[in-house]
């Protein structure tokens, strides 16, 4: 797959894809004889995985470490599990915070609805 296709498919710019590779956030992608990237199926799975994790707010640094561990092979399975477990913990914490904020927003929006209705009634009364 060309970089243009991967860019399209996962909605990441070519610059971002190159950047992710540069910093080791996805493993090195092979080039063809003229030096152009040719993404394999596995490369694509990495891109998709990283995109998903980034969307949820996992920091790049943690993901780079994960990829680095992955490249080191089966010895690092324990470390990888720990890393993901820690990130999951933080993710859950963020979700809890967001849930609280969501409830608060719901309440505030409802209150505003009341105000708007009240204001409309006032206007109606004024018209009569």
Please give the Cα distance from 68 to 46 (Å, whole number). 13
Please give the Cα distance from 60 to 117 (Å, whole number). 46
Binding to DNA by residue 33, rule CB under 7 A? yes
10 or 19, CB closer to DNA? 19
For residue 4, the minimal CB distance to a second copy (Å) is 25
* Contact range with a second copy by CB under 8 A, out of 1-9, 17-25, 35-43, 103-111: 103-111
Half-sphere exposure of 126 (CA within 13 A, CB side): 6
For residue 24, the minimal CB distance to DNA (Å) is 12
Binding to a second copy by residue 58, rule CB under 8 A? yes
* Contact range with a second copy by CB under 8 A, out of 13-21, 25-33, 35-43, 51-59: 51-59
Candidate residues 77, 125, 126, 128; the one interacting with a second copy per rule CB under 8 A: 77
């Amino acid at each position: 797959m060309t970089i243009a296709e991967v860019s399209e498919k996962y909605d990441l710019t070519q610059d971002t894809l190159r950047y992710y590779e540069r910093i080791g956030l996805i493993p090195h992608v092979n080039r063809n004889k003229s030096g152009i990237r040719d993404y394999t199926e596995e490369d694509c799975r990495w891109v998709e995985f990283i995109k998903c994790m980034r969307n949820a707010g996992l920091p790049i640094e943690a993901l780079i470490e994960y990829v680095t561990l992955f490249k080191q092979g089966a010895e690092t399975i324990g470390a990888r599990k720990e890393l993901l477990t820690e990130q999951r913990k933080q993710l859950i914490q963020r979700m809890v915070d967001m849930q609280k904020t969501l409830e608060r927003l719901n309440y505030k929006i409802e209150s505003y609805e009341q105000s708007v209705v009240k204001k409309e009634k006032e206007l109606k009364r004024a018209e009569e």
